[in-house]
């Protein structure tokens, strides 16, 4: 079995607008299809190693009785308008070692966006729980991302 899942969608918008949503803490919450991400605070990343906090509710998945908890999103790769990747530091110490990311490729009709979850570098004892979310959830988040971008996220009346 592969240790990486992904989904791709053509979004009829520029990579800059998509990248802005993907690097905004509130953008992560806005496009989440799992229901686990409740809110976030912090600043968008400008370089690898930057972080922000996301307030989670694992009860949305109904798989583990973790309740509400916070995680730190730690950016592991960041290329303006091309790539966003992060890992999670949370209640599990040391961190599990998985990453989530989005690759953006400009095409004539917009941007081809690939969302992925890769747990190939996760500690062996955690690999049995992956994927926590499946490729259907990745595809759903891409649909929500498209809707957010086409509606002009963040909305002009919303403060970042």
Q: What is the pLDDT of residues 44-85, one digit of tens each?
A: 999 999 999 999 887 777 676 777 889 999 999 999 999 999
Output the pTM of the full model: 0.90
The distance of Cα 32 from the centroid of its chain, to the nearest Å, equals 7
pLDDT of residue 15: 97
pLDDT of residue 68: 86
Coil, strand, or helix at residue 42? Answer: coil
- pLDDT band of residue 160 (cuts 50, 70, 90) is very low
Find the range with the poorest average confidence among 6-10, 104-108, 128-132: 128-132
Percent of the chain with pLDDT over 70: 93
Domain range 4-150, CATH class = alpha beta
- CA dihedral (106, 108, 111, 116) positive or negative: negative
How far is residue 50's CA from residue 34's CA, in Å, rounded to a whole number?
24
């Amino acid at each position: 079995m592969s240790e990486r899942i992904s989904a791709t969608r053509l979004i009829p918008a520029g990579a800059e607008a998509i990248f802005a949503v993907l690097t905004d803490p509130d953008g992560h919450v806005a496009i989440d299809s799992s229901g686990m991400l409740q809110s976030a605070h912090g600043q968008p990343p400008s370089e690898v190693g930057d972080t922000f906090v996301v307030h989670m509710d694992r009860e949305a998945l109904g798989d583990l009785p973790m309740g509400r908890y916070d995680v730190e999103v730690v950016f592991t790769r960041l290329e303006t308008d091309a790539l966003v990747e992060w890992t999670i530091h949370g209640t599990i110490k040391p961190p599990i070692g998985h990453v989530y990311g989005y690759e953006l490729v400009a095409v004539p009709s917009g941007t081809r966006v690939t969302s992925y979850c890769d747990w190939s570098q996760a500690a062996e004892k955690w690999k049995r729980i992956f994927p926590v979310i499946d490729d259907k959830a990745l595809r759903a988040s891409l649909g929500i991302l498209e809707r957010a971008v086409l509606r002009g996220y963040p909305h002009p009346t919303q403060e970042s």
